[in-house]
Amino acid sequence: MWNIMDIMRRFGLLFLICMLLTLTGCRSRPSPSPDEPTETAVQYLENKGSDTIVNLALAWAERYQAIYPQVRISVTGGGSGTGLTALINGTVDIANASRQMQPEEFSAARSAGYDPREFIIARDAIAVIVHPSNPVDRLTLQELSLIYRGEIKNWSELGGEDREIVRLSRETNSGTHVYFLESVIRMGNSEDGSIFSADTLLLPSSEGIIAEVKDNPNAIGYDSLGYITEDVKLIAVSSLAQPDVYILPSLETVNDNTYLISRNLYMYTLEDPVGAVKDYMDWIFSTEAQQIVQELGFIPIIDKEGNE
């Protein structure tokens, strides 16, 4: 028979062995030596703004992340004003805009301690569109202005059928809306206080403009050339220098400045870009990125040989 002391000694030895095995099994892996490679930290960029640019920005982000998988780029729309407000608030790295930053926006950014930087990343034509059945196929800039002011109300006044004109526009936070107001309705006159006719239908997206014109024979709208489909008809717009010459929007007519309603597209950063933001902005001006611009129907600012 075991006495009580033998039992205690045996159980004590067993307990000690179990504790040693447990500690050995739970021991953490040793830290890698300095010579071992470590995983690269993922870098995140926030990019927000113009709905005109959003498809281009998404295509850029997808291509860039395929090349540099350690970078993640979040792209959202909402309009140029929305993107610039987010930039001023310091909540995004890059703002997309289809118009230039306004003086009051620059002032707000500087009051917040920032000094924004502007980059022209592509060019764009604003195409005027109607339903394919509409016999009207050309308009002067003056006629466009009068249509959107509400002074020309019926297609019969322009050589079309006796139908009331339905005016379509982007919403007021859109840079395209602002550009059309200043360049078409006011015809570049900063002293002109004209505004869109009160019965103009405001739509939230470029795709919405296309869809409405496609379905409405009475409608007229405007949209970025990169969004135009075969479901709508392009209107030729007269040249101010030669009023009897009507020009359709295209890469060539934007580059040679014969199509009147064209503009630059922009990206803004809060300061001179550094780090991952700088690397991304540098890539946007590469021939690879600018080829994507042309593929999506916009006008690149750098040709295949890398010339501006």
Average pLDDT, the chain: 88
With contact defined as beta carbons under 8 Å apart, do 256 and 242 qualify? no
**In this structure, are residues 181 and 195 in contact, taking their beta carbons and an 8 Å threshold?**
yes
Q: What is the mean pLDDT of residues 96-115?
A: 96
- Residue 172 pLDDT greater than 50, yes or no: yes
pLDDT band at 243 (very low <50, low <70, confident <90, very high): confident
Contact yes or no for 88/106 (Cβ under 8 A): no
CATH numbers and ranges of domains, the chain: 43-123+264-295 (3.40.190.10), 124-262 (3.40.190.10)
* 9 class by beta-carbon count within 10 Å (0-12 exposed, 13-18 middle, 19+ buried): exposed
What pLDDT does residue 307 have?
56
Nearest-angstrom CA–CA distance, 162 and 116: 50
What is the pLDDT at residue 302? 74
pLDDT top residue among 257 and 241? 257
Residue 117 above 90 pLDDT? yes
Distance separating alpha carbons of residues 147 and 158, to the nearest angstrom: 10
- Report pLDDT for 303: 60
Mean pLDDT of 277-301: 96
154-171: pLDDT as tens digits: 999 999 999 999 999 999
Neighbouring residues of 161: CB distance < 8 A, sequence distance ≥ 6: 134, 135, 155
Tell me the β-bridge partners of 104: none
Name residue, tokens 């500087």: 110
Q: How confident is the model at residue 1, as a pLDDT? A: 43
Q: Are strands 166-170 and 236-238 parallel, antiparallel or unpaired?
A: unpaired
